[in-house]
């Protein structure tokens, strides 16, 4: 990991630009339209500045421990790369789900941030993937997967190749990118405008591997697109058992 400076009516895909108000109002990761000003850019973005359950947070603030029960029914699936100016996003076909507390959430898409948005004692990983799911009632559940520098990932290689070639379709193995394991859990928000709250966050404790070249390639496409860490505000943060 590397150290970084301090940085509910939900609809499908709201986490990145599918919300109409987020499309209409420009926002960035720096300058006058950067994260410190998101809440000022639009009334629809008010939660970005005034919300009390915002994401990301520092996962070192664990105040309870236990096993997080999340059944991940992942596998190989058809996908596409919709245009997105803030991230590399992979929209997937129907068929992959996670289940928690008797409710099933369908995987809609996953996307990337460099560096990771959630941190551990102020330290980030060089990259993270967020797997965005939606339940039948419209609630969102996001699974975060950290990436550390190491061996190259075949799945990331396929995504980067498809992006470079402008491919309209590809196949990805979500289980290879996000294997089930111990995780952190808390209630938070979208990490981009409109910063809507009521999002079920699950962050895998064990990072996956990506080569230095792959991480650099994602950063070259996206730039640094991590929202600064937000206050925990006495929320329950469940961590893996010791």
pTM over cut 0.85: yes
Residues 85, 192: contact at Cβ < 8 Å? no
- Rounded Cα distance between 70 and 52, Å, is 25
Give the catalytic positions in this structure.
Answer: 86
Q: Are strands 170-173 and 76-80 parallel, antiparallel or unpaired?
A: antiparallel
Does residue 15 fall inside a structural domain? yes
What band does 20 get if pLDDT is binned at 50, 70 and 90?
Answer: very low
Does residue 241 fall inside a structural domain? no
Does residue 175 fall inside a structural domain? yes
Does residue 239 fall inside a structural domain? no
pLDDT tens string 75-91? 999 999 999 999 999 99
Does residue 240 fall inside a structural domain? no
Query: Which structural domain range is residue 36 located in?
Result: 2-233
Residue 94 has pLDDT above 70, yes or no: yes
pLDDT tens string 28-77? 999 999 999 999 999 999 999 999 999 999 999 999 999 999 999 999 99
Does residue 238 fall inside a structural domain? no
- Rounded Cα distance between 194 and 79, Å, is 26
Give the position of tokens 């111990």. 182
Does residue 57 fall inside a structural domain? yes
Does residue 242 fall inside a structural domain? no
Give the pLDDT confidence score for residue 90 in this predicted structure. 98
Domain count, the chain: 1
Is the N-terminal amide bond of 192 cis, ω within 30° of 0?
no
Half-sphere CA count of 197, side-chain side, radius 13 A: 14
User: Any idea what the CATH number is for the domain that residue 87 is in?
Assistant: 3.10.200.10
Buried b (16+ CB within 10 A) or exposed e, 14-50: bbbbbbeebeebebbbeeebebeebbebbebbebbee
């Amino acid at each position: 990991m590397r150290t970084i400076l301090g940085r509910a009516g939900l609809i499908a895909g709201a986490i990145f630009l599918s919300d109409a108000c987020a499309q209409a109002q420009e926002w960035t990761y720096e300058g006058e339209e950067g994260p410190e000003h998101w809440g000022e850019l639009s009334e629809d973005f008010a939660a970005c500045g005034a919300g009390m359950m915002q994401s990301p947070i520092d996962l070192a603030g664990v105040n309870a421990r236990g096993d997080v029960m999340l059944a991940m029914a992942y596998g190989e699936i058809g996908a596409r790369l919709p245009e997105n100016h803030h991230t590399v996003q992979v929209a997937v076909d129907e068929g992959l789900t996670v289940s928690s507390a008797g409710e099933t959430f369908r995987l809609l898409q996953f996307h990337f941030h460099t560096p990771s948005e959630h941190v551990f004692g102020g330290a980030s990983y060089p990259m993270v993937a967020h797997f965005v799911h939606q339940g039948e009632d419209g609630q969102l559940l996001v699974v975060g997967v950290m990436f550390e520098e190491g061996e190259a990932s075949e799945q990331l290689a396929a995504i980067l190749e498809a992006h470079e070639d402008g491919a309209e379709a590809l196949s990805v193995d979500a289980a290879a990118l996000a294997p089930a394991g111990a995780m952190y859990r808390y209630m938070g928000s979208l990490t981009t405008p409109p910063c809507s709250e009521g999002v079920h966050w699950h962050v895998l404790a064990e990072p996956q591997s990506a080569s230095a070249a792959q991480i650099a390639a994602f950063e070259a496409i996206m730039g640094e697109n991590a929202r600064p860490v937000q206050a925990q505000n006495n929320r329950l943060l469940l961590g893996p058992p010791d």
